[in-house]
Amino acid sequence: MIRRKHQVALALTAVLAAAAACQNQERGAPAAGQQAPSAGKGFTLVASGSIVPHATVADRAGFDASGNGNNSDGNNGDGSGSGNGGGYDFGPMLAAVEPAVSDADLALCRLDPVPGDDTDPAAASLPQLARALAATGYDSCATAAADALVDPSGVPRTLNALDAAGLRHAGTARTQAEAGTTPLLQAGPAKVAQLSYTYDPGQRAGDSPEWTVAALNEQRVIAGARAARKAGADVVVLSLDWGDGWQDGPNDAVTALAKRLTASATGGRPDVDLILGSDGHLPQAYGKVNGTWVVYGAGDQIGPGTTGAQGVRDWRGGESTTARFTFVPPAKRGGRWEVSRAEFLPQFYDQDSGRLQDVNAAIAHGADLAGVRDRIKDAALGGGGAKAGLTMAP
């Protein structure tokens, strides 16, 4: 069940976006940077790794919905929790992350697009997956991905499912007008913009409009961040699909881009407040660049765990982190919301059981995951994050 604060946040999002648009059109309306700071109240934001709706993942959800997966939730896969009735049930798969996600003021996910093929299990199970993400406590999903540039046929299906589940989204669009909107999300007293972009693999579908998928272009990203600020965003979050797959660290192009994006500022205020990276499939470093936190790669929260074309199972593909940042309001008018606490939660998706595990909790209950925890910890802390105050959540 979606907790009340998430229901309120989802309901307020559309209202805030419309209000911000109206305010920007009014003569003399104050810019977001000129808003008075909140009275000391901050918010927590969590952001998870990529969810890759592969056929094998959908098959596992189908197995759980059939009653064969030892499902104690009584969820039939449609989010109703009314018992096993066929279909797909992603509830047990996501159960371990629910406490951290639902307790946050704002929870962000990254969802890979599904194919447009009606016969693909990933496409067929998408409505149930979207409802399970909402029930877990997620508020919005980044959807820009290189695969969507190559095959955008699944974009409408993905966004329709997210809309039906009450989840916001950024990075792909069904219409040009939709592509031009700035999603604003309520997080405690703050308005947060989530912007999503993906690198272009050079195999873009020829008949797909450019606005269907937001391609990663430095000037475009900065322009989007500034537009979000003008629309009323107190905090601007970038969800970026970038980097090399199956590497435990960012490449030089990624680190250089992170430096340029975090250096961009307007009126002395940074244009970007947080960068969340993905597409490496493996956990990568957290670091502070020009005073801004950058998660170079969170890993795949749920996915098939293979090395792509080679088709060889790589258990590291089940390792991921969920980032948790606590933001506090600016001390003075026009200042920046600052991160007062930065944490990561180590997680592991067990492909055999089809369960996402909170690694620390699993170890406390006797699971042999110390090696997994140490690999994730070394990766996350490997970019200077520890010196900047990053810690592993208990």
| Separation CA 280–CA 299 (nearest Å) | 6
Count CA within 13 A, CB hemisphere, residue 78. 8
Which is it for strands 235-241 and 274-278: parallel, antiparallel or unpaired? parallel
Decide if 138 contacts 107 (C-beta within 8 A): yes
What's residue 33's pLDDT? 37
State both tokens at 245: 């797959």
Question: Chain-centre distance of CA 203, in angstroms?
Answer: 24
What confidence tens digit (pLDDT) does each residue in 19-72 have? 333 333 332 333 333 344 444 699 999 999 999 999 999 999 999 999 765 543
What confidence tens digit (pLDDT) does each residue in 122-155 have? 999 999 999 999 999 999 999 999 999 999 999 9
Q: What angle do CA 280, 238, 163 make, to 5 degrees?
A: 95
What's residue 169's pLDDT? 98
Mention every residue, 6+ apart, whose C-beta is less than 8 A from residue 314. Answer: 246, 305, 306, 307
8-12, 45-49, 277-281: the lowest-pLDDT one: 8-12
Residue 303 amino acid letter: G
Greatest Cα pair distance in the chain: 62
Which is it for strands 168-170 and 391-392: parallel, antiparallel or unpaired? unpaired
Question: Chain-centre distance of CA 345, in angstroms?
Answer: 14
What confidence tens digit (pLDDT) does each residue in 156-165 have? 999 999 999 9
pLDDT at 12 over 70: no
State both tokens at 181: 């909107």
- How would you write 48-59 as a 3-class SS string? EEEECCCHHHHH
Mean predicted lDDT score pLDDT of the chain: 86
pLDDT at 8 over 80: no
| Separation CA 126–CA 116 (nearest Å) | 11
pLDDT at 296 over 70: yes
Closest by CA to 299, choosing from 249, 371, 361, is 249
On the 0-12 / 13-18 / 19+ scale of CB atoms within 10 A, 180 is exposed
What's residue 20's pLDDT? 38
Decide if 259 contacts 67 (C-beta within 8 A): no
Count CA within 13 A, CB hemisphere, residue 174. 11
3-class DSSP state of 245? coil
1-15, 138-152, 365-379: the lowest-pLDDT one: 1-15
> Any idea which fold 42-392 has?
Purple Acid Phosphatase; chain A, domain 2 (3.60.21)
How many other CB atoms are found less than 10 A from the CB of residue 337?
23
What confidence tens digit (pLDDT) does each residue in 184-236 have? 999 999 999 999 999 988 878 778 899 999 999 999 999 999 999 999 999 99
Decide if 229 contacts 33 (C-beta within 8 A): yes
Decide if 314 contacts 305 (C-beta within 8 A): yes
Percentage of the chain surpassing pLDDT 70?
A: 84
pLDDT at 78 over 70: no
Residue 200 amino acid letter: D
User: Model's pTM, two decimal places?
Assistant: 0.87
Q: How confident is the model at residue 335 (pLDDT cuts 50, 70, 90)?
A: very high
| Separation CA 299–CA 251 (nearest Å) | 15
| Separation CA 154–CA 161 (nearest Å) | 11
What confidence tens digit (pLDDT) does each residue in 85-127 have? 459 999 999 999 999 999 999 999 999 988 888 889 999 999 9
Q: At what angle do helices 252-263 and 218-230 cross, to 10 degrees?
A: 30
E-assigned strand segments in the chain:
43-51, 106-111, 140-142, 168-170, 184-187, 190-198, 235-241, 265-266, 269-270, 274-278, 286-289, 292-295, 300-302, 319-328, 338-350, 355-358, 391-392
